[in-house]
Chain A
Amino acid sequence: MDDAGLSVPVAARGLTKTFGSFRAVDDVDFQVQPGEAFGFLGPNGAGKSSTMRMIGCVSPRTAGDLTVFGLDPTRDGSTIRARLGVVPQEDALDVELNVRENLYVYGRFFDLKRSEIRRRTEELLEFTQLTERADDRVEPLSGGMKRRLTIARALINQPDLVLLDEPTTGLDPQARHLVWDRLYRLKQQGATLILTTHYMDEAEQLCDRLVVMDNGRIVDDGSPRALIDRHCTKEVVELRLAATTDLERSAGHLRRDGLEVEVLPDRILIYADDGEAALSFADGVGLRPESALIRRSTLEDVFLALTGRTLVEAG
């Protein structure tokens, strides 16, 4: 195959997408390397899905450059998509077909041979732990099973690059862990993954490198660890105060004494390398929280530091 294409799965420069006067994706640059798991972290509406759709060759870009496997999505859409596996945000399974037929019909869309599809189907059902449901209808499957089937379907053509848009949104915790486990194994096998998420734990677990998006722009990029080190202290103290407390005034007390503080609608966050020390300091200025929690900094805190908003609130 073309070496240039394989060496850079996706490269974007000045990539822009507008809908009318709304700039969904605004002049972003990024490169995805072979074999890495690359993430877009940001709240709903940050432009992640629009970017994914452009990479998936189903949304013409408004401006800028974009190559996938070194090819132009506008001109070579079919050729590119033949090498992609796409897990969309909504499962988009074919409810008129059963589990096995979903994989079969989808495989035919890639011009795969019937015998090849049958062989891959058994492997993929095994991999996604759906073998026992192979001949069942799709509709009654649980959310987690549907998502796993969507993942199996995306892998039917042995893609060089897998696009996952919010792979675990809407799943219960147990189902999420199962999906993460499968994706992690995929990653270990050397697959190149691009995923979008607004869950910081998902990004931390799966991504080697990620970009933080907000309002269509990339606000920073790096590995999860590097981003945390760059923007946050080691630990965070979360204080929940009584409903009658004036949070801004309490925060003012803490800030006056040189602490880095964020006020959220329901709590106060104190950033400190030593959480215990910060907590006893808060106690010293007379704060009496209903509950206090000391934890490690996460990507959620990175996002807050970069945009002044939480991932959930911003959506």
Chain B
Amino acid sequence: MNASGVVAALIPGSSHRWAHVVARNYASTRSAWFATVTGAFEPFLFLASIGIGVSVLVGDVDVDGRTYDYTTFVAPAMLASAAMNGAITEASFNTFGKLRWHRIYHSMTATPLTPTDIAVGEIVYAQLRGTLYSTIFLLAMVVLGLVESWWAVLALPAAVLIGVAFSAAGLAVVTVLRTWQDIDLIVFGQMLLFLFSATFYPLSVYPEPIQMVAQLSPLFHGANLCRDLVLGTVGWYNLINVAVLLGMTVVCSRLAARRFTSLLYK
């Protein structure tokens, strides 16, 4: 089964034409290649800040009886967070402008493309750049000796899954926003997830009730998955991580497609 077959199975009513939307977005960002290249830089800054700075202050971290250097512990969570941030930024900021001001989507709907095709195209495109960054970052982790297991090969598809899940969510949310001020809500949600998904420290740092809440965060599942794969501590719990992200992808992308349809077919 090819890519559009998989997509059509997950999101009813989509055709192969979403690929044209991806191609259109690619054509429009070629002029902004500098922004694309510098984007790859971002997770390295976090890694540098943690590796050079905070890890010296923190030292080692104990998780489930094993001891890790702080940088080794945080790096996989940075991978997951970067995948999330890239996808949300692309899916929300860029799409919002298109949806509210530019009439690009209106000219697309004059062609055989359907709103569902457009939504799928945007979701796919939004995580493409994130995938590029995740790949670079994962390679850098290997070079810096932050990878402890061959399971880490699966961290890349895991990062892609995180990217798709959050682009779908970002796209679904953006369809109900009205002004740029509303966008602040997305930024706020992003920050909430980034700070409280056991990214910077083990879940055990939180008090018991907050541990329960943190496990509702999709980024927690993404970070946990990446961390277990990179550190080689894979277990049955990771299947739950995957299920949460897959479920989020399917629900949010169908929601986004439905919202696109009602916005573009008035």
Direct touching of A and B (C-beta under 8 Å): yes
| Contacts from A to B (Cβ < 8 Å) | 19, 53, 56, 58-60, 77-79, 81-82, 84, 86, 88, 90-97, 101, 104-106, 108-111, 153-154, 157
Contact with A along B93-116 (1 / 0, CB 8 A): 000000000111011111111100
Provide the bound-state CA to CA distance between A94 and B101, in Å.
12
Least Cβ–Cβ distance between A85 and chain B, in angstroms: 8
Provide the bound-state CA to CA distance between A90 and B102, in Å.
10
Q: Which residue of A lies closest to B266 (CB)?
A: A59
Interchain CB contact under 8 A, B264 and A88: no
* Contact of B23 with A by CB under 8 A: yes
User: Which residues on B sit within 8 Å (CB–CB) of A77?
Assistant: 114
* Contact of B17 with A by CB under 8 A: yes
Least Cβ–Cβ distance between A265 and chain B, in angstroms: 34
Contact with A along B1-44 (1 / 0, CB 8 A): 00000000000000101001001100111010000000000000
Least Cβ–Cβ distance between A74 and chain B, in angstroms: 10
Among A79, A93, A106, A108, the one with the most B-chain Cβ atoms within 10 Å of its Cβ is A108
* Contact of B188 with A by CB under 8 A: no
User: Which residues on A sit within 8 Å (CB–CB) of B23?
Assistant: 105, 108
Of the A-B pairs whose beta carbons lie under 8 Å apart in the complex, a sample of 7, sorted by A's number, is A86-B110, A96-B29, A97-B24, A106-B107, A108-B23, A109-B20, A111-B17
Q: Which residue of A lies closest to B103 (CB)?
A: A92
Interchain CB contact under 8 A, A109 and B113: yes
Interchain CB contact under 8 A, A82 and B265: no
The 6 A-B pairs of least Cβ separation, nearest first, read A92-B103, A86-B110, A96-B28, A109-B111, A78-B112, A92-B107
Least Cβ–Cβ distance between B125 and chain A, in angstroms: 13
User: Which residues on B sit within 8 Å (CB–CB) of A153?
Assistant: 107
Q: Of B24, B109, B112, B265, which is within 8 A of A94 by CB?
A: B24
User: Which residues on A sit within 8 Å (CB–CB) of B27?
Assistant: 97, 101, 104-105
Provide the bound-state CA to CA distance between A97 and B29, in Å.
9
Least Cβ–Cβ distance between A132 and chain B, in angstroms: 21
Q: Which residue of B lies closest to A82 (CB)?
A: B112
Least Cβ–Cβ distance between A194 and chain B, in angstroms: 13
